[in-house]
Chains A and B, each alone.
Chain A
Amino acid sequence: AQRVTQPEKLLSVFKGAPVELKCNYSYSGSPELFWYVQYSRQRLQLLLRHISRESIKGFTADLNKGETSFHLKKPFAQEEDSAMYYCALSSDNYGQNFVFGPGTRLSVLP
């Protein structure tokens, strides 16, 4: 069965420091990976997806199939980056086709 893990519940960094939010997955097929962000009291929204290889708000993520990872990175954290971040996987399964990790709360300190 597909599964997404995010080992850190909380990550605190200082403004201007690099950020890396970890995500690992298990899936036997060819996955599509996503990062979602939730700002305070708002709905979750898509941040980026691996197939578009884009950079959004300075964040990037590279799919590493060998390590089954999709870590989210940003070279210089900003206070407005403070939010909950969820890694997600989309599969070919007939049933549940979207699986979310438990989330990491990023806190960027001034």
Chain B
Amino acid sequence: DAGITQSPRHKVTETGTPVTLRCHQTENHRYMYWYRQDPGHGLRLIHYSYGVKDTDKGEVSDGYSVSRSKTEDFLLTLESATSSQTSVYFCAISPSRGQRNTEAFFGQGTRLTVV
């Protein structure tokens, strides 16, 4: 398995509280992504990063922010959690196109429940 870990794996939090999810990689891959997965919606991109301190919004970025101060870590923050953010969150990493065996690798997911 590619060296990608998400923490925590499960979290229950109250509405209005801040939450930070961490994605850590040991592959030195350039690109990192945060997705949420919901029944009936499949994967939806929240934010992505194409280098240290280089990030951009995906299709469902409202209510989320990200930071990437080091190559290996990509943090997703919910500034004030809402029940609509209850979901399974996946982190993914990928190398630059053209590198051998270009492929996206996924973490095991974080199940977040906002009550």
Contacts and interface: CB of A to CB of B under 8 A. Distances in A.
Nearest to B58: A96
B71 interface: no
Interface in B40-62: 40-45, 48, 50, 56, 58
Given A9-B40, A98-B33, A34 B103 contact: yes
Contact of B106 (A6, A32, A44): A44
The interface size bin for chain B is 20 to 34
Nearest to B101: A49
A72 to B, nearest CB: 15
> Which bucket holds chain A's interface residue count?
20 to 34
Given A43-B108, A43-B109, A97 B50 contact: yes
A91 B103 contact: no
Interface centre among B58, B102, B108 (most CB of A within 10 A): B102
Contacts of B107: 43
A32 B99 CA distance: 12
Contacts of A102: 41-44
B31 interface: yes
A94 B31 CA distance: 10
A92 interface: yes
B103 A49 contact: yes
Interface string A22-36: 000000000010101
Interface of B: 31, 33, 35, 40-45, 48, 50, 56, 58, 90, 92, 94, 96-98, 102-104, 106-109
Interface of A: 6, 9, 32, 34, 36, 42-46, 49, 84, 86, 88, 90-92, 94-98, 100-103
Given A90-B97, A96-B48, 17 more contacts: A9-B40, A34-B103, A34-B104, A36-B106, A43-B106, A43-B107, A46-B103, A49-B103, A88-B104, A90-B102, A90-B104, A91-B97, A95-B50, A96-B50, A97-B50, A101-B42, A102-B43
